[in-house]
Amino acid sequence: MNVSEALEARRSVRYFGDREVPEETLRSIVKDAQWAPSWANAQPWKVYIATGRKAEEIRQNHYNFARRGMRGSSDLETGHRSDWGQKAYQNMGLWGDDLSNYLGYEAGSQFSSSQAELFDAPAIVYLTMHRNSPLFGIFDMGAFSQSLMLAAKERGVDSMEAYEFVKFPDAIRKLMGIPEDEAIVMGIGLGYADGRKINGFRSSREPLEDVLTIRSE
C-alpha cells in the first residue's frame, strides 16, 4: 500500500472488534511515525499506549463518567463549532447531516454509544507534549498523528482519532502515569474494525477548487 492509497483507505472507525493489536506491531507503527517533521527537529511528542486490562480499565472508567453525565475538560481548549470560522462550521454541519442520513433512526444512539464506550478500542494511544510548548507545536503533533495513522493503515490496523479519548485528562494521567507537566494533546484508538454499519460511513471532502489556490505571478 503506497501513501496515496493509505490516505484514501484510512477512515475513522467507530467500533473496533475484540482482536488485539500485537505489541510488536504497535512498536513498529510508532517507530515509523517518528519520521514526522517538526520545528527544528524538536520532536515534542511522547507516546503512551494502553492495551489489555489497562485499556479495559480506561474504557470502563470513561463509560462510568459518560453514564453519569460528567462534562469533560481536555488539556487543550476546543471551543464551540462556531469558533472555527464559517467554512469549518459548515463542513461540520454537512458531516453531521451525512452521518444522520446514512445511519437513519439509529444515528443518535449509535454515535453516542460508540463514544461512551471509547469505540471498544483494544489499543488507546495518548500523545503528549510539554505544557509550555509554543502553539506552533500543534503542527508537529498533527504531523505525528497523521504519520502514526498512516503507518497503522499500511499494516492493516484501523484508527480513530477523537476528542473523546482525552475528555477526562486527570483520570487518564492517573491511570497511565503521565506527568503533570505534559499536556495530553490527542488520543487515537487502534484496532480492527468490526462489521457494524457505522463503520461503513465515509465523510466527504470539499472540491479541490474550493481549497487550493496556485499563483505563478
CA distances to 17, 19, 23, 82, 214 from 27, in Å:
20, 17, 6, 38, 39
Domain that holds residue 137: 3-211
Domain membership of residue 193 (yes or no) is yes
Domain membership of residue 97 (yes or no) is yes
Indicate the range of 38-47, 61-70, 208-217 predicted with least confidence: 61-70
pLDDT at position 70: 86
**73 pLDDT tier (thresholds 50, 70, 90):** confident
Which CATH number does the domain housing residue 28 bear? 3.40.109.10
46 contacts: CB under 8 Å, gap ≥ 6: 127, 128, 129, 182
Domain membership of residue 41 (yes or no) is yes
Q: Residue 156 carries which DSSP code?
A: T
Strand ranges of the sheet holding 158-162, from the earlier edge strand across to the other edge: 46-51, 123-130, 182-191, 158-162
Domain membership of residue 158 (yes or no) is yes
Domain membership of residue 44 (yes or no) is yes
CA distance 174 to 156: 31
Domain membership of residue 216 (yes or no) is no
**119 pLDDT tier (thresholds 50, 70, 90):** very high
CA distance 178 to 183: 9
For residue 104, pLDDT beyond 90: no
127 contacts: CB under 8 Å, gap ≥ 6: 45, 46, 47, 141, 144, 145, 184, 185, 186, 187, 188
For residue 105, pLDDT beyond 90: no
Residue 77 zone, left/alpha/beta (φ > 0; ψ -120 to 50; rest): beta
For the chain, give the mean pLDDT. Answer: 93
pLDDT at position 209: 95
Interval 124-182: pLDDT, tens: 999 999 999 998 999 999 999 999 999 999 999 999 999 999 999 999 999 999 999 99
* Mean pLDDT on 51-73: 93
Domain membership of residue 217 (yes or no) is no
Indicate the range of 72-76, 79-83, 208-212 predicted with least confidence: 79-83
Domain membership of residue 98 (yes or no) is yes
CA distance 87 to 206: 10
* Mean pLDDT on 56-75: 91
- Residues comprising the chain, all counted: 217
pLDDT at position 108: 66
Closest residue by Cα to residue 193 from 159, 148, 150, 153: 159
pLDDT at position 107: 64
Q: Looking at the 3D structure of the chain, how many domains does it have?
A: 1
CA distance 189 to 196: 17
pLDDT at position 8: 87
Indicate the range of 10-14, 24-28, 101-105 predicted with least confidence: 101-105
Q: List strand residue ranges (DSSP E) for the chain, in order.
A: 46-51, 123-130, 158-162, 182-191
CA distance 156 to 144: 18
CA distance 48 to 172: 10
